[in-house]
Homo-oligomer: A and B are copies of this chain.
Amino acid sequence: MARINENYLKLPGNYLFSAIGKKVREYETAHPQAKIIRLGIGDVTQPIVPAVIEALHAAVEEMGKAESFRGYAPDLGYSFLRETISEKDYKEKGCDISPEEIFISDGAKCDCGNIQEIFGLNNTIAVCDPVYPVYVDSNVMAGRTGVYIPETGQYQEVVYMPCTAENGFVPELPGTVPDLIYLCFPNNPTGAVMKKDQLQKWVDYANEHDSVILYDAAYEAYISEPDIPHSIYECTGARECAIEFRSFSKTAGFTGLRLGFTVIPRDLKTGGQELWPLWARRHGTKYNGAPYIIQRAGEAVYSEAGRKQVREQIACYMENAGLILNGLKKAGYTAYGGVNAPYIWLRTPGDMSSWEYFDRLLSTLQIVGTPGVGFGPHGEHYFRLTSFGKREDTIEAMERFTSFPA
């Protein structure tokens, strides 16, 4: 008799964004006239930039002609893209990452979810609290977390690293040494960053304890201040202990095109075993490459025109972030992030619960945000807004806030 993977039953309720979607649809059905502004899910709203559109059309043309048609992509990605990334994202910034250490994929979410497969089930994972749910949920599904304790909102065998206003939303080094450490900076959901010397401490810690850092740098393009690392490989020794995830979703608006990559340095070994061949084997066995036309689109992001155009988009989103921060401040809120990240992390007024605030914001202002507690128990009493909305919507949302002060 076939048996299901019982680990799935440990997951409480729905995936956060599915749950929010359901609530919003119900509200819309009940209030068809309401003009809802979505500052919840981290989806972009600006169209794909012209340089990328042009590359897409050109690649589509190639696919329609026998002499230039491309079938299966190389498992690990086309050389033209791996070489461009190695050069522009790493070597030009002083990080020694070769093209073969870059694995092209259809997005950082998939990579962050799948990476745990190459590690044994007997590893302890550490995550920030609050945290992007994929890191934890993918480990729950694999059976690496123990059971869910409803009273604490935590899994029994996960090392949680609280990120609070007190520590500037940057976790302390854990007392119990974990085997796999998920870090995401600039952070989703808090918008916090680590300075280079802070991140260096984590790299040293991982090397000292033979832990592996799984570093999600999906938001590096939003860094505006100096001295904040864009890549973990800016730290000494990171090639020996860290895997890095990058995404085109937030850098160039590829949420609907799907492109990302993972870096696994050849120096990264655990128990004497290189991790690179394991991930290569996983790619070769369970993945069939990102579409050629999408990889050409990714390449165009690095062209002179492409870079300029995506920088303008990011600048525009960061102006939104400024508008939100100011608007919240005027309305009397305490809010964080929004300077080196597209996320604003606000404290709910009057110690309201995150979900209660979600419901109030939706019913009173018709604004959708993300309940902080959805990212973990230390997100309770917090709420995430994103700067990915349209300018006019962002402005209108902040006007609405003036009638709903903290």
- Could you say which of A66-74, A155-163, A168-176 contacts chain B? A66-74
| Copies of chain A in the complex | 2
A247, closest chain B residue (CB): B288
Contact with B along A273-303 (1 / 0, CB 8 A): 1010010011011111111111000000000
Interface residues on A, range: 35 or more
A18 at the interface (CB under 8 A from B): yes
Q: Determine the distance from Cα of A257 to Cα of B118 in the docked complex, in whole angstroms.
A: 27
A180 at the interface (CB under 8 A from B): yes
Contact: A179 with B1, CB < 8 Å?
Answer: yes
Contact: B47 with A8, CB < 8 Å?
Answer: no
Contact: A118 with B72, CB < 8 Å?
Answer: no
A69, closest chain B residue (CB): B47
Contact: B3 with A288, CB < 8 Å?
Answer: no
Q: Determine the distance from Cα of A270 to Cα of B73 in the docked complex, in whole angstroms.
A: 37
Contacts of A15 in B (CB 8 A): 281, 284-285
Q: Which of B123, B209, B281 is in CB contact (< 8 Å) with A3?
A: B123
- Could you say which of A52-60, A223-231, A330-338, A358-366 contacts chain B? A52-60
- Could you say which of A134-142, A191-199, A341-349 contacts chain B? A134-142
Contact: B60 with A44, CB < 8 Å?
Answer: no
Q: Determine the distance from Cα of A273 to Cα of B50 in the docked complex, in whole angstroms.
A: 48
Residues 177-213 (chain A) with a chain B CB within 8 angstroms? 179-180, 209-212
Among A11, A41, A209, A257, residue most surrounded by chain B Cβ atoms (within 10 Å): A257
Contacts A120-B3, A179-B1 given; indicate if A257 touches B43 (C-beta within 8 A).
no
A48 at the interface (CB under 8 A from B): yes
Contacts A1-B270, A2-B270 given; indicate if A69 touches B53 (C-beta within 8 A).
no
Contacts A4-B271, A69-B45 given; indicate if A293 touches B63 (C-beta within 8 A).
no
Contact with B along A66-84 (1 / 0, CB 8 A): 1011111101000000000
Contacts A211-B1, A258-B290, A270-B1 given; indicate if A118 touches B8 (C-beta within 8 A).
yes
Contact: A4 with B110, CB < 8 Å?
Answer: no
Contact: B256 with A63, CB < 8 Å?
Answer: yes
A404 at the interface (CB under 8 A from B): no
A26 at the interface (CB under 8 A from B): no
Contacts A11-B281, A71-B45 given; indicate if A287 touches B110 (C-beta within 8 A).
yes
Contact: A2 with B285, CB < 8 Å?
Answer: no
Q: Add 10 more A-B contacts to A2-B119, A45-B69 (CB < 8 A).
A: A1-B211, A2-B179, A4-B119, A5-B120, A15-B281, A47-B69, A69-B256, A73-B256, A258-B289, A293-B293
Closest 3 CB pairs of A and B: A113-B286, A53-B64, A43-B71
- A to B CB contacts below 8 Å, 16 in the list: A2-B212, A2-B270, A3-B119, A3-B122, A5-B118, A5-B119, A8-B118, A44-B71, A45-B69, A45-B71, A48-B63, A50-B64, A56-B63, A69-B256, A258-B288, A293-B293
